[in-house]
Homo-oligomer: A and B are copies of this chain.
């Protein structure tokens, strides 16, 4: 890596703190401190203050996660495998962090929605992007678009929810259990009306 700029350092640090403790606990001072970025430049790069930095962090998280999600569903793959990979990937990251790092968007959304319109809108866009990313992936695996759209909502909800359970229980099990159940819905795309 070519030594990230102070601006990037701060965004990364904010994202990390959002994951671990949420928006309110991620104070301006702690973000700057943990980032290692120079103290004086914080207000220079984000003259509108904490919310501006928060927005940037959420947007970066949104893109990063979407990219990893897309990678789970290669062209011509199997839908169920993609879902499993998605959940296993999440479980792995969670474990690697010692069960401290969850989803930054989810945490911030719960703290601020719908109180802060800008933050809420950014979180909403992230969820929308992720739903679409999963749905597109499922379609790439041969699933019909309408069914994929519905399943993507459930998959994302289960992903976020399982992440919370897994983190709280400090165990991967909820993630893997959910994956198993969801695989079933991938293999039987049609039945009821």
Q: Which residues of A contact B (CB under 8 A)?
A: 20-22, 24-25, 98-100, 102, 106-107, 109-115, 120, 123-124, 127-128, 150-151, 153-154, 156-162, 164-165, 167-170, 174, 177-178, 180-185, 187-188, 191-192
Contact = CB atoms under 8 A, between A and B. Distances in A.
B159 A127 contact: no
The 6 A-B pairs of least Cβ separation, nearest first, read A157-B161, A161-B161, A24-B24, A160-B161, A157-B162, A154-B181
A20 to B, nearest CB: 8
Given A106-B164, A153-B174, A156-B165, 12 more contacts: A102-B113, A109-B167, A113-B167, A114-B170, A153-B178, A153-B181, A157-B158, A157-B159, A157-B164, A157-B165, A160-B164, A188-B191
Contacts of A128: 169
Given A111-B21, A111-B25, A115-B21, A154 B182 contact: yes
Given A150-B181, A184-B191, A185-B181, A114 B167 contact: yes
A177 B154 contact: yes
A150 B181 CA distance: 7
A120 to B, nearest CB: 6
